[in-house]
Each structure stands twice: as C-alpha cells, then as structure tokens.
Structure 1
Amino acid sequence: MQENKKRSNTTSRYDDGSAHHCPRCGSSIPAYPHYSAWCDICDWNLQPVASKTVSGQVFKMPPRIGTFFDEYLFKRVLKMRHRLLRLTFLQIIALLSSAIVFGIAGLLFWQSAIFILSENQAQTLGGVILFIILVWSLFPRFDTRPAKRVQTEADEFPMLNRIVRRVASALNTDTPIVMLTEQFTATYARVGIGRHPVLGLGHPFLSILNAKETVSLLAHELSHSQDGAITRSLFVRTALQTARRWKWLASPLLWFRNINPTSFAHYFLLVLSWFLSLFVLPFTILEIVIRFCSYQDSQRAEYVADASSVQVAGTHDTLSLLRKSYYQHLAALRIEYSNAPAHIKFDRLQATLAAIPKREIERVWRIAQRQPTLITGTHPSLQKRIAFLQSLSPQKSLVEITPREFEALQEELAAWPCVIRKRERNWHEELEQEQQDSCEVVPMPSAAD
C-alpha cells in the first residue's frame, strides 16, 4: 500500500536512487538522489514554470502572442539569411517613432520659449519649469565604464585578453574592455560618451567551456558590435528614455511609494495620475511602439550573432555552446559556485559538473526547449535558434586555441576569484583610509567654543 501511494505521488523528487514509475503513464523511469525525476514517454515533469501573462513596464501579453511573433521572425530570418543587416521595417518604425518623440519635445521647447518671453510672470515661471523638465527628460544617460578593479588587465590575464583580441580581429571589430563577473551569462555593451566596447564574461560560464566553445562564446558576443541592433542607437535609446521620463512625471503615485493605499492622499494622486496621463498619452503610445520594435530587433540581432559565431567557431561548437548556456539552470552548479571558497571555486565547479547525471542535464535542456517565447524577450526561442543554426552551411572554426593556450586560460580562470577578492579588499581599505584622512582634516571643536 505504501508503494502504491508512492507511485501515485506527483512529486518530482526522489531520494532513494532507485527506479520509479511515472505517475502519469506508469512507465518505468530512472531516478537519482536529490535530482528531479521525469518521463521520456509522456514528458511528465518537463513543463516549464511560466505564468499565463507576462508583465512588462508598459503592457501585459499572453505567451501565445510571443509565440506568434517568434514564428514570424524566424520565417523572415530564413528568407533574409544573407541580408540580416539590412534596415528592417520595424527598425524604420522605431526610428520614425523616435523622431516623433524629439519632434514633440521640440514643439514643447518652442512653447516654453514663448512662455519665458511673455510679460506675464505666471507664464514665465511655467515656461522656465517646462524648459527644465524638457532638458532633464532629453538628457541622455550613458552606461558607466566598469571600474578598474573588475577589469581583467592584460598583465594579470594575458591569455584571456590575447584570445579576445584574436577573435575580435577575425570579426574585424574593436577590441573591447574585458571584465569577468560572477554571473552565469555573457554580455556586450558600449558605454560612456565615447561608446567604448565592454565584454562581460561570466566566470562560472566561461569555466565550464572547452576551447572551441570559448571561441564560439567570444565570437557570439563580439558579433553584437556589428548586429545593427537599434537598442545600441543613442538616438533610439534617448527617445525611449525621454518617453519613459514623461510617463513617470504623469504618475505621481510613483513619486510617493510609501503612501497608505486607503488614505485620501492616495486617491487624490490616483485621480491626478489619470488626469496627467491624458497629456502624456502620445509619449506612452510611442514608448510602447519603440519598446516592441526594440524587443523584436534584439531577437533578430541574436540570429545575426549566431550566424557570425558559426562563421568563426563552426556549427558544431556553436550548438554545443548554446546547450551549455542553459547549464545556469542546474541548481547544483549555482549552489556549489556560491558556497565554494575563492581559491577552489574553479575546481569545485568542474567537479560538480562532472558529477551531475546526464539525465539531469537532459531534463534542463528539454525544459528549455519548451519555454515559451515572450514578446518582451530579447532572445528568440531555443527551438528556433537551433533550427536556424542547423539551416546554415556547415563551417569550420577560423580561430583555434591550442592545448597549451587553453591550459594557461584555465589557470587564469582558477586564479580570478582570489584576484577579485584581493582587489575588493584593497579598494575597501583605500576607501576607509580616505574617509579617515578627511576626518583628520576637519578640526575638532575646542572646549572654549
């Protein structure tokens, strides 16, 4: 009776390591201690955890809308396989919407100038306030350059920087500032007024890749410098930022987050928000349009980066990298990396990955392929990316890492956690010393005073 109760239980976790039966179809399934069980026959326990709607800052859309646009974009990409960098219809819409934002701002500037030059003091004051708001809303915000302490200097990490330069040269792009993080991701951005390229590499992610997958990762991220994404356009980003700021101005409830929701002030601000939202309605609509176009264009840019990665690193290794990018969902890896001491993080990560059953890795991979695409997502669905890579002509790697170079790279990755901890400690000590020095400069009040 106890056995029947156990079989009927729909829990997804078993701890005795023996074979069990699927609670849905009854077929025999292997189970491992501390890992989720799943069925190969009926796909029991392989459904991704997802809500019915996806919340965004502007709109909510059911997942099926994202699936529709994901399928549409995939078909367009297959047709435009060799013309992915051409100006697309959505990019034109985003640029026109951004131009309208600046056009409205220009009209408001003109109106503020009329008010300022008016002889009426109230109009003059209103014109000055409007002018200040316009300057604040239009002022571009640049991503800051990463601090020196998180950058991988060429003298401390020569092999990593050498490989990055080699891949950048193969792609004919600028060599970026390289920084390592503790995230299981990789990013590419342009920061500052000079739009300096910055390559962010997740240390745990980079630590589990082989030599060819490392080249594929670098090629994919550096390809974003040439993907033509409108999200990297200062013109579009500033327009989107301006529309968001005007919408924030029309939402007084966001100014005072700690107000009692049952108080009179809360209801007053709620009515005021409805009233002000009518005046900023054009900015709200334009923000929705620009955001939608930006999300869709970001997904197109991922296809461009995948295609460039295939040209530099080869088809097989690009697919292998795509599979390993979902290892971030392996809980054992995340827990071990977080808890391991700095000097053995790299070794612990390698040992933990080797100990994870292949069936658990396959479970994560299958769930990832069932994950619905969001209309507010920056990446296409995994199934579409796999299909796109398989549709490309097989390529061989243009950049190779020798076994000796890869061994040197792994030594640098093993040393990085201790290096960054030392840098952080020195930075805090210098900061405390500066604070003490500034306190010593200020004279203490005397007893006579």
Structure 2
Amino acid sequence: MSTTMGETVLPCPECGAEIRTDNRFTTWCAACDWNVDPVGPKEPPGRLDRARRVWAQRHGEKLLADMAADGTPHAGRGVSAVLANVVAGAVHGMTVVLVAAGIWCMVGASGAPAMMLGLLLLALAWTLRPRLVPLPRNEFLLRRAEAPALYELLDEIAGVAHTRSVDVVAVDAKVGARVTTCGVRGQRLLRLGLPMWEILTPQQRVALLGHELGHYSNGDTRRGLIVATAFRSLTTWRYYLQPMSKPSGLEALLNLLCVVPRLLIQGAQTLLDQLTARAGQRTEYLADSVAARAGSTEAAVGLVDHILVADSAANTLRREVNNPRVGRRDSQQAEEKADGLWERLTAHMESIPEHEYERQRRVGARRGHSIDSSHPPTHLRRECLLAGPPIPALVVTDIDREQRIAAELAEARRQVARQVMRDGFDD
C-alpha cells in the first residue's frame, strides 16, 4: 500500500488490481466492481412505489431505444393522454358527487343527523377540491425588475426551448430546480435550489435552466391542471382511507368497511400512473435535449453527473448544520458560519475524485437510480445525451453576465445560507 497526494493506493482484495482510494468515499475496484455498491439498493416502502420504479426502468429503456433508432422518443401521448384525463375527470367527478350529496343532506333532508352528514360531506369535498399551486410565501422571490441579468438569461434559454420564459424565480435550499404553474393567471414559477446552482459551472447552469424550461415546451401530461390535481386528490383519499394500526373493535370494523374504497382509490392511482408514466419520462428525455442545445452536450452530461452525487452535497450541508462548533441556538454564531457556506460546499464538490463519479454511475446502472418515478433512470439519461454527436451551446455565458447574475443572487445566497444554518437542512 502507498499514499500519494491524499490518495491511498492499494491492491484489490478480489482481483489484485490497483485501487486508488479517498478515505471520504467508498473504496472499490473499477476492474472487477468489488465493493462498488456496499449498501445495496433500498427498496421503496410501498408496493405502488416499487411498481413505479419498475415502470421507470421499463419505460426509460424503451424510450432510449426509440432515441437510438430515430432520435425521437415516441410520444405515446394520444390515447394514453385522453384516458388519463378521463380517469382524472372521474376522480374530480367524485368530488362533485360529494358536494351534491352534502347540499342535498342540508337542504333536501331534515333533522340534525342529515345536517351533520351534509356538513361532513362538504368538508370532505373541500379538502379534495382541485387546488391551484399558490406562489410561495416563505421563499426568497426574485421578480424581473430585481434580477434583469438572470431573466435575460432565462429569456434566451426559453427561445431555445421554443416557449415563453418564467414570471417568478423562487430561490430555496433544495438540491435541484423545478418549474410549476401557479394561480389562476398561470404564472410560471422557477424554483431554483441554491445548493445545485452553486456547485455547477456556468454552462451547466444554462443546461439546468434549459432542462426546466424544456418541460413547458414538451407537454407533460402529469403537469396538466386536470391530471395533476387528480393525483393530489387521490393522495388525500389514500390518507383518509389508510387502515388504523392496532385498532379497537370499532376501528377494526371501519378498517374492514374501507377495504373496497381503498382498493378502488389505489387502483385509480395505479391506472393514472401507468397512463402518464411513459409521457412523463418522454418529456424528461426531451427536456435533456433542450438542456444540451442550450448549454451543450458536455454541460448537460456534467449536470446529470452532478445529479448522481447530489447526496454528497446534501450530506455536506447536514454536516455544516450539525457542526458541534456551531451552537444551533446561538443565532449569531449560525449567521457567522453561514457566511462561507456555499464556498465550502463548492470546494467539497470540486474535490470529489473522478473514480467516485464513475462508482456512482455504475451504482446508478445497477439500482436504476432516478430522481423519482417520473424520471427515467439517470444512467439512461446520460446514455441518451451521449448517443448522438456532441451539440455545441446555443447560449454561452461570459464573465460579465455571470458577475451580474451573482450580484442579483447575493442577497438570496445570504438569506438561504442563514436559513439553512438556523433551521437545519432537509432536502
């Protein structure tokens, strides 16, 4: 065994090949994959979640094959999208039935029991109603007038994606970014997670924004108003109908009475998942293609690699929060520690050796790693980006633009860092 420049060199106990290790990361062998995945895959807790992971792998592989064949993931949105909207309409129809029944009990029937039942049905319908996503209140919001350079970049990337730009940017402490539509006016909101933004290169940031704006131009059925709100309603139904643990006699009877409704709700959610899974993954591949056109193939691949090591960024922030030298109750110490938080996070991520990236790629291929069930497995996204000839960037940043955007995000960086150190990190 020898040590050079912070790395330890030792022989693989399995095949004898030379291994270069870093004591911060898992020791493994690139020649024979010894210890490449010492923990093993974590099974999702529920049957539906496990099924979703299987669907993600299956649909991801099929769509990747489509891309290899003709460069386009086949849509499959026609009949499936119509059926998904029919199922979602039926879910909302049940809410309408509850409203009608509640009104009838209160108006058409007589007596206190009917009145109470009517109130109960109306209250239940209220919780199940289709709800629009509101603009966030407890996050740092940047409007166009407050961040002209950032919005100029977003507008340019939106042009590449053939869609309109976002209306509001919300900066938070999540490791990632996501877009949604808010309110009755349909305002487009970009949630920009500072931990991910800080660890990316300027071109990788362009790819990140391109991927998110690509969702608006590629028509994800799951993000449509009718289907998205139906998913929320079904989740609420499942919460109400879940069996009570250690039930009494009456509770056991209620559990029994809820078996059939619970199976119907689970069946509807499974069907809606199946009908939208392929279209949802299709939009992820297409969003990746927008990321490559906007920031370059190299930047888009780098973005996907950072997704593979996102847990390392999250763990670094948790270590910063739990550092015993910082008293969680001492707000002044926490604010002082927050001052260099993003620089320390970036330094850690830049120090990750290439062999750890490669290990994460192999682990991802073994486990079918994906951000969630709506995303294709991450290693397939990477393969898809590398399948064709490299694409140059259509949106190129320069030092002046980067400095102006950094100045616009400076206050958000301070506030979010202090929030993390004060309240803890939970991604």
Common topology (TM > 0.5) = yes
1:203 matched residue in structure 2: 194
Pick aligned residue for 1:409 from 405, 408, 412: 405
**Per-residue Cα deviation, 1:143-179 (whole angstroms, up to 9, x for no partner):** 2212375113556544333322332244331333112
CA-CA distance at 1:218 after TM superposition? 0.9
Residues 349 and 129 (structure 1), Cα distance of their counterparts in 2 relative to 1, 3 Å cut: closer
What is the percentage of aligned positions where both structures have the same residue?
23
Letter of the aligned partner of 2:12 in structure 1?
C
The answer as to 2:408 corresponding to 1:384 is no
1:330 matched residue in structure 2: 312
CA-CA distance at 1:234 after TM superposition? 1.6
Is the contact made by 2:92 and 2:230 (CA closer than 8 Å) also made in structure 1?
Answer: yes
The answer as to 2:54 corresponding to 1:68 is no
The answer as to 2:286 corresponding to 1:304 is yes
Which runs of structure 2 are paired with 1:417-432 in the superposition (5 Å)? 417-420=413-416
1:132 matched residue in structure 2: 122
Letter of the aligned partner of 1:90 in structure 2?
S
Is the contact made by 1:342 and 1:418 (CA closer than 8 Å) also made in structure 2?
Answer: yes
Structure of higher CA gyration radius: 1
Letter of the aligned partner of 1:41 in structure 2?
A
1:266 matched residue in structure 2: 248
Count of residue pairs brought into register by the alignment: 403
2:228 matched residue in structure 1: 237
Pick aligned residue for 2:341 from 330, 340, 345: 345
TM-score by length of 2: 0.79
Letter of the aligned partner of 1:347 in structure 2?
E
CA-CA distance at 1:295 after TM superposition? 4.0
TM-score by length of 1: 0.75
Is the contact made by 1:175 and 1:197 (CA closer than 8 Å) also made in structure 2?
Answer: yes
Letter of the aligned partner of 2:156 in structure 1?
R
Is the contact made by 1:326 and 1:365 (CA closer than 8 Å) also made in structure 2?
Answer: yes
Inter-partner Cα distance in structure 2 for 1:183 and 1:94: 30
Is the contact made by 1:48 and 1:367 (CA closer than 8 Å) also made in structure 2?
Answer: no
1:44 matched residue in structure 2: 34
SS of the residue 1:19 aligns to: strand
**Per-residue Cα deviation, 1:108-140 (whole angstroms, up to 9, x for no partner):** 656666656656648844762475156325412
2:142 matched residue in structure 1: 152
CA-CA distance at 1:382 after TM superposition? 2.1
**Per-residue Cα deviation, 1:68-103 (whole angstroms, up to 9, x for no partner):** 343234335556744756724432332221133244
Is the contact made by 1:311 and 1:396 (CA closer than 8 Å) also made in structure 2?
Answer: yes
CA-CA distance at 1:352 after TM superposition? 2.8
The answer as to 2:13 corresponding to 1:31 is no
- Unpaired runs of 5+ residues, structure 1, are 4-15, 254-258, 426-449
Residues 23 and 200 (structure 1), Cα distance of their counterparts in 2 relative to 1, 3 Å cut: same
Inter-partner Cα distance in structure 1 for 2:261 and 2:54: 33
Residues 231 and 21 (structure 1), Cα distance of their counterparts in 2 relative to 1, 3 Å cut: same
Residues 209 and 52 (structure 1), Cα distance of their counterparts in 2 relative to 1, 3 Å cut: closer
Inter-partner Cα distance in structure 2 for 1:68 and 1:48: 25
Inter-partner Cα distance in structure 2 for 1:422 and 1:153: 21
Inter-partner Cα distance in structure 2 for 1:127 and 1:307: 53
Is the contact made by 1:143 and 1:191 (CA closer than 8 Å) also made in structure 2?
Answer: yes
CA-CA distance at 1:380 after TM superposition? 0.7
The answer as to 2:391 corresponding to 1:400 is no
SS of the residue 2:258 aligns to: helix
